[in-house]
């Protein structure tokens, strides 16, 4: 009963604050909408002939769309990533019986209600702006995709109803078969969320890789346009990226709370939470480059010109920045694992110092190769001025064969960091432990050698052979390593004896900053690749079909774009911080100014009621 | 002040504010904001330090039929198209180049007939479709060369003829394209019948292995 009252109080506070935040954002929408209304008056005379509208006083239509669309996409990624994260945690809690996982899942689900509304609000603003700024394009897309608009609305209704049941039914479905039903609701929530993601993906990917739309029923035309060559690669890439985003944002939240923790209990809790967030982030990060590679391959197959624009044209330097951000993300994630080994496991520092140093050196070397540009220029005139486009020594690292190799090696090293962390402080007592360790070492060593050999061999075969066979083989080898060593380690540790208990809450402050850095890197990467995807269409709204004839038909240079990426990242971080603050405000009040809030299962109130 | 300098100053300013926050504010949350500002400012500065290349929409070469008097006029326009709307220089070089992804076009106008060049531009898959550069039976060989008369590049017939004029002139050959072939609407003329390339190469599936490399080169591989 008391728990129910507490829950009601929280809900009231949240609803009031949610209403305030919605009202605030509505004012923002009105502020943006006001000039549009004024402009629309001018446009009425032109009626349906209007192709573009603009608000130059607010920075121009393209920039406004850039900010709103990016924020909507990041929030959508968050809203779709958190249910996956929460559901995974709930399953772990259910299977292991550890209540803290269930609490963590519940409290992250709580965020969904407020962030869901904010995401929808930004989606609404984006839609109004698109209709206002690009009427001709939107008419064209509506004509093709109208049936999917209807499906999208229906899915939103289902998603909302499921979210209500999932969140409000949490406490009523804690045990037994009711819990299984709750888990099923979580599954449904993610299924609906997945389809809510893939439908807009079809609109965006159609713009990049349109297909010929034959005559037929509106449903058949919409389906034909939806099933375009880059639709599924983008779906899979975004699905995995959302898991990564959800995990690292959880980690960043834990990092901030850890830094400001006042008691040992708080430090222990947020240290553990940071570990879970980082783990899920890395779990998603490892297969993400494979999905990215598949997407890039499909782009090349769809249109060589678009692929060249991305990888060898004016966007080629973007991929150096991408390598830098991914490199920092890999380093940050590994660094957090290494800090965990040396600070949470007493006595482990000396034992793991050498392997950690070796892994650091490998990661830095790989990053150096990955960041080596292929060519420094894009035009013949510039090449003539420089007397060539390749560095005589380092140029050899600038090609895809080298980059694929080091990307796979970095994934292997990160995976081994995790395995090392998993096994630290435990004595493997199984009779076959020695054999298992030898097998694992052998698999890892052979895989690394084969990946390098294929990488070197890739220089001497036609590109088509390298792309179709060697690169795919490298990816499969790394996946094989993960799928072999993970279950083997799990079996090995099942009977292992813990020699040193893990001590939570002893991480240095830089661990908290590392978690924040990882989240910022993921968000920046999403903004960077959003710019790449949009710019790869060059001066086309719909590639090869509808040309952009507005004054904004050009793609800005990287420096200008990076300023927008940074701005969008900062605004998004502040929005997420605001959502977290709103969601935990009521809990802090209930905690009476001491202890830590219910966020992520830290509620003393909830603990007492378990 | 250029846009890049202005953005660099803003980036430095953001980093400066972040550093000041870390130096003088003890409260944790503002310190995290300061840290994020430093990261974002640094990222912006790095992005500003790489070559700044914007992608401008290609200028549409307007054909004033009345102004084209000679074949040389066509070659001049063809050169502009080669380096702009046609995007040929993105892959092809004129003269040896390490960065060229596709064959060097130096002297191509002397090696191939205009009809064959036309076909290579508009039907890149028409001639070479088997790859012999591996062991075993030949396989289908997807040409990298895009259909130049279709979107996204979409050169008009007049523009394609001008590019051919440029390629011939650049190879020191007499220009066989005539201004009289320029049409007012610029629509593609009917595709010429497949014509064997110059220098006696036959159009056949059974291209000899020894020839495959050269033939592949012709169509952009």
- Distance of alpha carbon A588 from alpha carbon B119, whole angstroms: 74
| Local structure of residue A585 (DSSP, 8 states) | H
User: Do A559 and B48 make contact, defined as CB atoms within 8 angstroms?
Assistant: yes
* Partners of residue A259 in chain B, C-beta under 8 Å: 28, 31-32
Structure confidence by residue, pLDDT tens digits, A257-267: 999 898 999 89
Which one of A210, A258, A380, A572 makes the best mutation probe of the B interface by having the most chain B beta carbons within 10 Å?
A380
Using alpha carbons, select from A351, A391, A349, A344 the residue that is nearest to residue A372.
Answer: A391
Write down the pLDDT at residue A43. Answer: 46
* Partners of residue B90 in chain A, C-beta under 8 Å: 305, 308-309, 312-313, 378
- Distance of alpha carbon A590 from alpha carbon A603, whole angstroms: 9
> What per-residue string of b and e applies to B136-157 under the rule 16 or more CB within 10 Å gives b?
eebeebebbbbebbebbbebbb
Q: Decide: A286 and A247 in contact? Cβ < 8 Å.
A: no
User: Do B152 and A321 make contact, defined as CB atoms within 8 angstroms?
Assistant: no
Write down the pLDDT at residue A589. Answer: 65
- Distance of alpha carbon A250 from alpha carbon A601, whole angstroms: 13
Write down the pLDDT at residue A469. Answer: 86
SS (H, E, C) A179-201: HHHHHHHHHHHHHHHHHHHHHHH
Rg (C-alpha) for chain A, rounded Å, is: 25
Angle between helices A61-96 and A509-535 (to 10 degrees): 130
* Partners of residue B47 in chain A, C-beta under 8 Å: 321, 558-559, 561-562, 565
Write out residues 56-85 of B within 8 Å (CB-CB) of A: 56-58, 83
Average pLDDT over residues A222-227: 92
- Which member of B29, B39, B44 has the closest CB to residue A563? B44
Write down the pLDDT at residue A311. Answer: 77
* Partners of residue B56 in chain A, C-beta under 8 Å: 554
**B208 vs A: CB within 8 A:** no
Write down the pLDDT at residue B212. Answer: 35
Of A533-537, A563-567, A593-597, B59-63, which has the strongest mean pLDDT?
A563-567
Write down the pLDDT at residue A592. Answer: 56
Flag whether pLDDT at A36 surpasses 70: no
**B1 vs A: CB within 8 A:** no
ipTM for the predicted complex comes to: 0.83
A434/chain B closest Cα distance in angstroms: 44
- Which member of B47, B48, B87 has the closest CB to residue A305? B87
Average pLDDT over residues A133-162: 94
- Distance of alpha carbon A574 from alpha carbon A19, whole angstroms: 18
Query: Residue written as tokens 């060249």?
Result: A308
Q: Decide: B47 and B59 in contact? Cβ < 8 Å.
A: no
User: Do B44 and A559 make contact, defined as CB atoms within 8 angstroms?
Assistant: yes
Using alpha carbons, select from A145, A164, A150, A123 the residue that is nearest to residue A226.
Answer: A145
Flag whether pLDDT at A598 surpasses 60: no
Write out residues 98-127 of B within 8 Å (CB-CB) of A: 98-99, 101
Beta-bridge partner residues of A546 = A542
- Distance of alpha carbon A483 from alpha carbon A485, whole angstroms: 6
Flag whether pLDDT at B214 surpasses 60: no
Task: Please state the domain extents for chain B.
Answer: 3-49, 65-218
Structure confidence by residue, pLDDT tens digits, B21-64: 999 999 999 999 999 999 999 999 999 998 888 888 877 667 67
CA atoms within 13 A on the CB side of A200: 16
Of A27-36, A496-505, B21-30, which has the strongest mean pLDDT?
B21-30
Alpha carbon dihedral A276, A279, A283, A286, in 10-degree steps, equals 160
Write down the pLDDT at residue A601. Answer: 41
Q: Decide: B90 and A313 in contact? Cβ < 8 Å.
A: yes
Using alpha carbons, select from A304, A133, A245 the residue that is nearest to residue B92.
Answer: A304
Query: Residue written as tokens 């709750």?
Result: A182
Write out residues 361-380 of A within 8 Å (CB-CB) of B: 375-380
Write down the pLDDT at residue B183. Answer: 81
Average pLDDT over residues A54-62: 90
Structure confidence by residue, pLDDT tens digits, A388-397: 555 556 667 7
**Spatial CB neighbours of A512, under 8 Å, sequence gap ≥ 6:** A254, A255, A256, A258, A259, A274
* Partners of residue B36 in chain A, C-beta under 8 Å: 516, 520, 570, 573
**A515 vs B: CB within 8 A:** no
Average pLDDT over residues B2-27: 95
**B193 vs A: CB within 8 A:** no
Structure confidence by residue, pLDDT tens digits, B123-162: 887 776 566 666 677 666 556 677 888 876 788 899 999 9
- Distance of alpha carbon A569 from alpha carbon A576, whole angstroms: 11
Flag whether pLDDT at A25 surpasses 70: no
Flag whether pLDDT at A192 surpasses 90: yes
Which one of B55, B59, B102 makes the best mutation probe of the A interface by having the most chain A beta carbons within 10 Å?
B55
Distances (CA, A) of A592 to A88, A543, A596: 31, 58, 10
pLDDT band at A9, cuts 50/70/90? very low
Question: What is the average pLDDT value for chain B, to the nearest integer?
Answer: 78
Q: Name which residue leads in pLDDT, A383 or B6.
A: B6
Single pTM value for the model: 0.77
Q: Decide: B72 and B201 in contact? Cβ < 8 Å.
A: no
Q: What are phi and psi of A247, to 5 degrees?
A: -65, -50
Average pLDDT over residues A29-45: 46
**Complete DSSP assignment for chain B:** --HHHHHHHHHHHHHHHHHHHHHH---HHHHHHHHHHHHHHHHHHHHHHS----BPPPP-----GGG--SHHHHHHHHHHHHHTTT-GGGT--SS--SS-SS---TTHHHHS-HHHHHHHHH-TTSS--EE-SSSSS-EE---S---TTSTTT---HHHHHHHHHHHHHHTTPPP---GGG--SS-PPPPPPPP-PPTTT----S---HHHHHHHHHHTT-
Alpha carbon dihedral A192, A197, A198, A199, in 10-degree steps, equals 90
User: Do A308 and B90 make contact, defined as CB atoms within 8 angstroms?
Assistant: yes
SS (H, E, C) A390-417: CCCCHHHHHCHHHHHHHHHHHHHHHHHH
**B2 vs A: CB within 8 A:** no
Using alpha carbons, select from A172, A166, A183 the residue that is nearest to residue A88.
Answer: A183
Flag whether pLDDT at A600 surpasses 70: no
- Which member of B32, B54, B56 has the closest CB to residue A256? B32
């Amino acid at each position: 009963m008391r728990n129910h009252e507490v829950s009601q109080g929280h809900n009231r506070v949240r609803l009031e604050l949610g209403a305030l935040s919605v009202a605030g954002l509505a004012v923002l929408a009105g502020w943006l909408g006001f000039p549009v209304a004024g402009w629309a008056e001018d446009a009425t005379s032109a009626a349906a002939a209007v192709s573009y509208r603009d608000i130059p006083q607010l920075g121009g239509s393209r920039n406004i769309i850039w900010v709103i669309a990016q924020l909507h996409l990041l929030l959508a990624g968050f809203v779709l990533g958190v249910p996956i994260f929460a559901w995974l945690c709930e399953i772990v809690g259910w299977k292991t019986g550890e209540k803290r996982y269930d609490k963590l899942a519940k409290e992250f689900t709580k965020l969904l209600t407020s962030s869901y509304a904010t995401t929808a609000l930004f989606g609404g603003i984006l839609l109004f702006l698109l209709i206002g700024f690009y009427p001709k394009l939107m008419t064209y897309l509506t004509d093709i995709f109208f049936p999917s608009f209807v499906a999208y609305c229906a899915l939103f209704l289902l998603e909302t109803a499921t979210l209500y049941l999932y969140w409000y039914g949490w406490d009523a479905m804690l045990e037994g078969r009711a819990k299984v039903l709750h888990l099923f609701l979580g599954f449904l929530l993610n299924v609906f969320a997945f389809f809510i993601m893939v439908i807009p993906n079809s609109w965006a990917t159609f713009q990049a890789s349109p297909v010929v739309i034959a005559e037929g029923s509106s449903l058949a035309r919409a389906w034909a346009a939806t099933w375009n060559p880059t639709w599924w690669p983008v779906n899979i890439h975004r699905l995995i990226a959302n898991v990564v985003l959800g995990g690292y944002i959880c980690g960043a939240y834990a990092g901030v709370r850890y830094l400001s923790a006042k008691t040992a209990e708080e430090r222990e809790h947020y240290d553990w939470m940071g570990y879970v967030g980082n783990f899920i982030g890395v779990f998603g990060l490892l297969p993400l480059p494979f999905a990215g590679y598949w997407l890039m391959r499909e782009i090349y197959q769809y249109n060589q010109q678009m692929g060249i624009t991305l990888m060898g044209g004016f966007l080629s330097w973007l991929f150096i920045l991408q390598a830098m951000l991914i490199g920092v993300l890999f380093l940050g994630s590994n660094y957090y694992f290494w800090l965990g080994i040396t600070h949470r496991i007493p006595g482990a520092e000396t034992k793991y110092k050498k392997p950690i140093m070796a892994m650091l050196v490998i990661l830095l070397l790989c990053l150096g190769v990955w960041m080596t540009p292929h060519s420094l220029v894009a035009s013949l005139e510039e090449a003539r001025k420089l007397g060539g486009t390749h560095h005589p020594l380092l140029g050899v690292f600038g090609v895809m064969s080298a980059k694929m190799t080091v990307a796979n090696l970095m994934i292997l090293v990160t995976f081994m960091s995790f395995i090392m962390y998993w096994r630290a402080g435990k004595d493997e007592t199984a009779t076959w432990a020695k054999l298992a360790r030898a097998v694992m070492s052998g698999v890892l060593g052979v895989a690394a050698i084969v990946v390098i050999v294929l990488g070197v061999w890739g220089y001497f075969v036609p590109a088509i052979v390298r792309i179709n066979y060697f690169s795919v083989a490298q990816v499969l080898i790394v996946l094989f390593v993960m799928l072999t060593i993970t279950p083997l380690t799990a079996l090995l540790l099942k009977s292992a004896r813990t020699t040193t208990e893990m001590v939570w809450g002893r991480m240095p402050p830089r661990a908290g900053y590392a978690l924040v850095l990882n989240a910022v890197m993921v968000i920046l990467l999403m903004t960077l690749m959003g710019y790449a995807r949009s710019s790869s269409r060059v001066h086309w709204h719909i590639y090869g079909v509808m040309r952009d004839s507005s004054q904004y038909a050009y793609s800005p240079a990287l420096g200008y774009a990076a300023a927008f990426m940074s701005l969008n990242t900062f605004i998004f971080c502040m929005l997420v911080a605001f959502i977290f603050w709103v969601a935990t405000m009521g809990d802090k009040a209930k905690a009476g100014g001491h202890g830590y809030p219910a966020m992520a299962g830290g509620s003393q109130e909830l603990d007492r009621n378990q | 002040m250029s846009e890049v300098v202005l953005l660099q100053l803003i980036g430095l300013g953001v980093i400066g504010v972040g550093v000041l926050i870390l130096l003088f504010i003890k409260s944790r949350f503002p310190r995290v904001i300061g840290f994020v500002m430093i990261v974002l400012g640094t990222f912006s500065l790095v992005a500003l330090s790489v070559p700044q290349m914007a992608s401008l929409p290609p200028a549409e070469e307007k054909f004033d039929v009345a102004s084209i008097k000679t074949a040389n006029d066509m070659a001049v326009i063809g050169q502009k198209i080669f380096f702009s709307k046609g995007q040929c220089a993105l892959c092809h070089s004129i003269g040896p180049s390490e960065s060229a992804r596709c064959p060097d076009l130096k002297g191509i106008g002397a090696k191939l007939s205009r009809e064959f060049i036309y076909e290579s531009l508009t039907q890149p898959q028409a001639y070479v479709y088997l790859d012999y550069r591996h062991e075993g039976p030949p396989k289908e060989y997807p040409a990298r060369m895009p259909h130049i008369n279709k979107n996204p590049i979409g050169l008009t017939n007049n523009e394609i003829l001008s590019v051919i004029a440029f390629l011939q002139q650049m190879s020191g050959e007499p220009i066989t394209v005539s201004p009289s072939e320029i049409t007012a609407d610029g629509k593609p003329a009917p595709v010429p019948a497949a014509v064997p390339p110059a220098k006696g190469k036959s159009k056949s599936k059974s291209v000899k292995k020894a020839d495959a490399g050269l033939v592949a080169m012709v169509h952009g591989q």
